[in-house]
Structure 1
Amino acid sequence: MKHTRIAALAAISLAATLSLTACSGDGSGKDSSAKGDSTPSSAGSSSSSDGGSKPGGGSNSGDSTADNTKPDSGGQGTQAGTRPGSTNGAATTSNKVAFCKTEDLAIDATNAAPDKTSGRINITMINRGSATCSATGFAGVDIKDADHTSNPIERGPAQPRITILKPGDAAIFDLAYTIDTTGNSLSTPTNILVTPPNETHTVSLNWPAAAGQIKGAYTDVQVYPTHTTK
């Protein structure tokens, strides 16, 4: 009986030890689980932090791009591009010669027919002003008839030549037509109305008395551009 009790006590003691061991294992397992739970949480927090920093990095990148495309850079380029044009424009303007004014020109008309069939009237313009001027181009010309009508004269097939007049210099342009040798001309010109190139003021000149009669109508007369006498 004594051995039986001892065996029973030993069995109870062993069972108690095993129970305590089991309890201790459950506790360590819970701790381990808690630690494992904290690790993913920490990783998630880190990921969230990284995600928050990325927009900030994107913003910095955007600022860098803006620096590379600063409006100031384009503005400087535009200014640099306009400066030469502005300078050239000023130089061109300063080098231009003003057109001759009617009031500064002494204008006269003479007969210059080279033969009996080719009518030509030379109109001379002398610069009597104090400054150099340009008489380049076609003068406006109308011929006034004895019936008090006036007829505009068309331009001849010629290109204008540069005509610069210093004080005292002369420019010439001419009217060309065919002379009527029959004596039956329907035109009776009395005056030539001249408006210098690029001017609006007109002078009236007498039709040269020695000039031959015009064959056909005034529409058959042509005016040619100015040129210098030199």
Structure 2
Amino acid sequence: MKNHTRRASAFAVLGVAVALSLTACGSDSSGKDAAGKESVPSTSSQPSAPAQAGSSPSDGAAGKANAPTTKPSSGTTAAGTGGDGAASGGQKVEPCKTQNLSVEAKNASPDATTGTVDITMINRGTTTCSATGFAGIGLTDADTTTNPIDRGKAEPRITELKPGEVAIFNLSYEIDNSGNSLTRPVEIQVTPPNQTTHVNVKWPAGAGNIKGSYSDVKVYPTHNK
């Protein structure tokens, strides 16, 4: 009788335990379901919005750093502002005017047989000018007859003169040491290159007499001294 009572009690306790276990399982399941219903879907499953340039501080800094720094052109070029390029270097240099030149002649004969007269022209003007080419030369006798002189075989050199600078050219001839020469100039008529007016300078003292005629005298082109 006692054994039967104990077995019944044991089964009763076991039934209560099972019931409690089932209740606990039900509450866990419902808790998981509730949790599942209340859970928020992961943001990784949503499409991300496209990033806008400069929307972050780093993007903004990069945008400023990469912005062009050149200012708009005002339309004034270096040459147009009076630079030393095309505006000045490209200008044509005008011929030296006769009235702006100081002209002198001197004997430069290297020996007793070779006659050389050096003629210098100094730019007394206020601007740079060109003395490039051959001067027109006439030799005047004591009877005031002027004889034109031919050009020697030589190529002109570019000869530009700043204010105060000197150009030089020469007359060349053979000296007559016989004492019988009839070719004895007293003046030199000088017309600078590309000019139509002339100046007269004295035939230099010490220059030898000309052998032959005036056609034997040659004038050579100008060059810088």
TM-score, with structure 1 as normaliser: 0.59
- Does the alignment pair 1:184 with 2:173? no
Quick one: structure 1 residues 92 and 131, their matched pair in 2 at CA, closer, same or farther if it must change by over 3 Å?
A: closer
Q: What are the residue-to-residue correspondences of 1:120-159 with 2, within 5 Å?
A: 120-159=116-155
CA distance in 2, matches of 1:140, 1:227: 15
* SS of residue paired to 1:141: strand
CA distance in 2, matches of 1:195, 1:183: 30
Q: What are the residue-to-residue correspondences of 1:11-90 with 2, within 5 Å?
A: none
CA distance in 1, matches of 2:160, 2:136: 18
In structure 1, the partner of 2:4 is: none
Equivalent pairs counted in the alignment come to 140
- Does the alignment pair 1:170 with 2:157? no
Per-residue CA deviations over 1:144-187 (Å, capped at 9, x if unaligned) read 01122110000000000000100111000000000001111011
CA distance in 2, matches of 1:192, 1:183: 21
**Runs of at least 5 residues in structure 1 that lack an aligned partner in the other structure:** 1-89
Identical amino acids, percent of aligned pairs? 61
CA distance in 1, matches of 2:167, 2:111: 23
Per-residue CA deviations over 1:86-121 (Å, capped at 9, x if unaligned) read xxxx97995210000001111000000011000000
**Structure with the higher fraction of residues in helix conformation:** 1
In structure 2, the partner of 1:215 is: 211
Q: AA paired with 2:100?
A: D
Q: AA paired with 2:165?
A: D
TM-score, with structure 2 as normaliser: 0.60
Aligned-CA RMSD value: 1.6
